[in-house]
Chains A and B, each alone.
Chain A
Amino acid sequence: METSTAMTAVQAHEHPRLRELKFTLARIFRNPSAVIGVVLLSFFIGVAIAAPYIAPPKYAHAPYKMPHKGFSPTPKAPSERFIMGTTSGQYDIFYGVVWGTRTAFKIGLFVVGIAGFVGITLGVLAGYYGGWFDEFLMRFVDIVWSIPLLVLAMTIVVAFGRGLENIMIALALVEWRWYVRVIRSEVLKLRNQEFVQAAKLMGVSDCKIILRHILPNSIYPVLIMGSMDMGSMVISASFMSFVGLGAPKGYADWGQMVALARNYIVGPSNDPLQFWYTIFFPGICIILFVLAWNLLGDALRDAFDPKLRRR
């Protein structure tokens, strides 16, 4: 009891926002799954940054193109030269896995960034001002909502043409609907609360109310969703790559590496798991990458949920 009063005395000198942030961080890292998530993520970030040193590109102008020695379709087992072996077409798996980390971050950051920005902006404006804009936007969201992500995204990719960039654009064009709905419902809860009304009466401009009062109080569910989305968008993108809607053959992308391994999941009858490495390395990368973001998102939810936070 004494220590806690002493703690409060010390904390009282700190800025309340800073104190809250410290509490949140402590709450997050009390959760072992968050620690695992952060460690995994740091590892992937490290690999992505150090990619040119870990796996020096053969073609300086096109580092995402996997180098390949020969054209034989039969994968070769890990050796000293290719520590993870080569996949179908003799592409170096190690190189692809390392540079694929960058591709995965590119996909996640681009899709979540664009979808989040568009969704938050539209959702806040619609929720705060209401009126015809809100009505129009939400009816449009209803329409987009009626088709599952993958179906709509695949159709958009077909319309725009194949390629990784178009997959990312398609996913962003579909995923913003989630952010609009989530943040709008948060804003609707806040809009009529007393502190917002008070700020309005005092003549604070709408812009300032939104930025200082509405956004900071409604952003947490979006942050959690963003973290989870970083993973699930990579899953959706890699599935579309797997189907053959992604980058041209030989691009360092985990989904496509799984596609290259597809015909080799079953080896000859005397050694059915002979080509395990072709699917294992890119596969484990996708799983761990997505797992890391999901663990982080799960911990964020526990830390930000007002019902569970102080327990």
Chain B
Amino acid sequence: MTAYIIRRLLFLVFVLFGVSILIFGLLSTFSPERRAAAYVTTPKQAENIPLIIQKYGLDKPFYVQYGKWVEQVADGNLGWSLVAARPVAQAFWNYFPTTLELNLFASPLVIIVGIWLGTMSGVHRDSFFDHSTRIAAIVGWSLPTFLFALILLMVFYGYLDMFSPGILSSDLSLWVANNPDKFVRYTGMYSIDGLLNGRLDITLNALSHLVLPVVTQVIVVVALLMRVMRSGMIEEMNKDYVITAKAKGADFKTIYKKHAKKNALIPVITVAGQLVALSMEGSIAVEVVFNRQGMGWWLAESATQLDMPVLMSVCMFVGLVFVTSNLIIDIMYAYVDPRIRLH
């Protein structure tokens, strides 16, 4: 097991190296002048573009530039973000908690709702419940996240005037910005910081802003989990051990809860990586539509404004998270299913 984990960690380094070469290669298709513009932070500096090209070696061969970039990253310098108007590393800590908050609330819901619905429709196959959840899953799967988010916004914000976009109401966020000594941002997540600072109103306000984004994220991601759980359940319910248990007169609930469900969960773990990827993609659309300044919003904004240092760092970060979560998933897989040996 340890040897396996070490090998996978080495693999992680290899993948990150590959990703950085790939993304760096893609972004170096730009002319040196355009890439130099990424370093310009004030209008005055714009006059110095030839100097910047020389200073950062933007007209040098690919491997020289790549080496320079690696050197800078090792120094902790990820470049300057145009969109955030501050260094990338600093901006990251500003945006990351918002995305984390969204997924902290959405992921448990996805798992609970998806597994429950999948189990129920698998056990009661071809019942009315099964058909309706299957149709709902296909429709949910076909709903583009951004469109669904817009429709929710139209109905709940425009028509019912219940939930508004953003992270926090404007007067509260103004108060937080003006009173950094009274409101300490421990985690960067308003819903949790409100509790830690004893400001329940801020927590409630942040939660009310989270309702629609979380609902969107859950509905779009849950369909995949549900479908896999359902087919796993059907397969297990047709197996010999279930028939044996039935013949011995075991209670139906005990059979599917204690025996079948546990085995049906194994294939679910194989799509867990896909679920992580879906959540990452979902976060982009959700944050863009609901105007939540998180990683997804930052990425979309950077893509439209050609903010290259950000694209580079976000790709690396996303790659790191994705490969690490896949490693954890594989280890979990071996833990849950003792028939699988990792070597």
A245 to B304 CA separation, bound complex (whole angstroms): 6
Q: Is the CB of A151 within 8 A of B139?
A: no
Q: A155-B311, A266-B157, A291-B139 are in contact. Are A148 and B280 (CB under 8 A)?
A: yes
Interface string of B252-285 (1 = CB under 8 A from A): 0000000000000000000000000100110011
Q: Is the CB of A159 within 8 A of B27?
A: yes
A250-293 residues with Cβ-Cβ distance < 8 A to B are 258, 261-262, 265-267, 272-273, 276, 279, 283, 286-287, 290-291
Residues of A within 8 A of B150 (CB): 258, 261-262, 265, 279, 283
Cβ-based interface call for B245 (8 A):
no
A41 to B303 CA separation, bound complex (whole angstroms): 33
A144 to B18 CA separation, bound complex (whole angstroms): 8
Q: Which of A152, A157, A265, A266 is the one whose CB lies under 8 Å from B315?
A: A152
A150 to B300 CA separation, bound complex (whole angstroms): 10
Q: Which of B14, B27, B159 is the one whose CB lies under 8 Å from A273?
A: B159
Cβ-based interface call for A156 (8 A):
yes
Stretch at the interface among A22-30, A86-94, A115-123, A236-244: A236-244
Q: Which of B146, B277, B322 is the one whose CB lies under 8 Å from A242?
A: B146
Q: Is the CB of B144 within 8 A of A147?
A: no
Residues of A within 8 A of B277 (CB): 148-149
A33 to B153 CA separation, bound complex (whole angstroms): 30
A243 to B287 CA separation, bound complex (whole angstroms): 12
Q: Which of B138, B281, B311 is the one whose CB lies under 8 Å from A33?
A: B138
A239 closest partner in B (C-beta): B146
Cβ-based interface call for A142 (8 A):
yes
Cβ-based interface call for B314 (8 A):
yes
Q: Is the CB of A154 within 8 A of B138?
A: no
Q: Is the CB of B303 within 8 A of A243?
A: yes
Cβ-based interface call for B127 (8 A):
no
Q: Is the CB of B19 within 8 A of A287?
A: no
Cβ-based interface call for A208 (8 A):
no
Q: Is the CB of B154 within 8 A of A294?
A: no
Residues of B within 8 A of A261 (CB): 150
A273 closest partner in B (C-beta): B159
Q: Which of B144, B318, B322 is the one whose CB lies under 8 Å from A239?
A: B144
B139 closest partner in A (C-beta): A291
Residues of B within 8 A of A307 (CB): 235
Q: What size tier do the contact residues of chain A reach?
A: 35 or more
Q: What size tier do the contact residues of chain B reach?
A: 35 or more
Residues of B within 8 A of A142 (CB): 11, 15, 18
A155 to B25 CA separation, bound complex (whole angstroms): 11
Q: Which of B22, B23, B138 is the one whose CB lies under 8 Å from A291?
A: B138
Measured between C-beta atoms, what is the minimum distance from A289 to chain B in Å? Answer: 9
Q: Is the CB of B158 within 8 A of A235?
A: no
Q: Is the CB of B303 within 8 A of A154?
A: yes
Cβ-based interface call for A79 (8 A):
no
Residues of A within 8 A of B15 (CB): 142-143, 146
Cβ-based interface call for A298 (8 A):
yes
Cβ-based interface call for B299 (8 A):
yes
Q: A151-B315, A152-B315, A158-B303 are in contact. Are A144 and B22 (CB under 8 A)?
A: yes
Q: Which of A159, A243, A279 is the one whose CB lies under 8 Å from B288?
A: A243
Residues of A within 8 A of B144 (CB): 235, 238-239, 286-287, 290
Cβ-based interface call for B30 (8 A):
yes
Q: Is the CB of B142 within 8 A of A231?
A: yes
B154 closest partner in A (C-beta): A265
Cβ-based interface call for A172 (8 A):
no
Q: Is the CB of B154 within 8 A of A279?
A: yes
Cβ-based interface call for A295 (8 A):
yes
Interface string of B148-173 (1 = CB under 8 A from A): 00110110011101000000000000
Closest 4 CB pairs of A and B: A143-B18, A266-B158, A290-B142, A291-B142
Q: A151-B315, A279-B147, A291-B138 are in contact. List 14 more A-B contacts (CB 8 A).
A: A33-B138, A139-B18, A142-B11, A146-B322, A148-B281, A148-B318, A149-B277, A154-B303, A231-B142, A244-B304, A283-B151, A287-B144, A287-B147, A290-B144
Query: Mind listing 11 A-B residue pairs with CB under 8 Å?
Result: A33-B135, A154-B311, A158-B303, A239-B144, A258-B146, A279-B151, A283-B147, A283-B150, A290-B142, A290-B144, A307-B235
| B residues apposed to A, CB below 8 Å | 11, 14-16, 18-19, 22-23, 26-27, 29-30, 135, 138-139, 141-147, 150-151, 153-154, 157-159, 161, 235, 277, 280-281, 284-285, 288, 299-300, 303-304, 306, 308, 311, 314-315, 318-319, 322-323
| A residues apposed to B, CB below 8 Å | 33, 139-140, 142-144, 146-152, 154-160, 231, 235, 238-239, 242-245, 258, 261-262, 265-267, 272-273, 276, 279, 283, 286-287, 290-291, 294-295, 298, 307
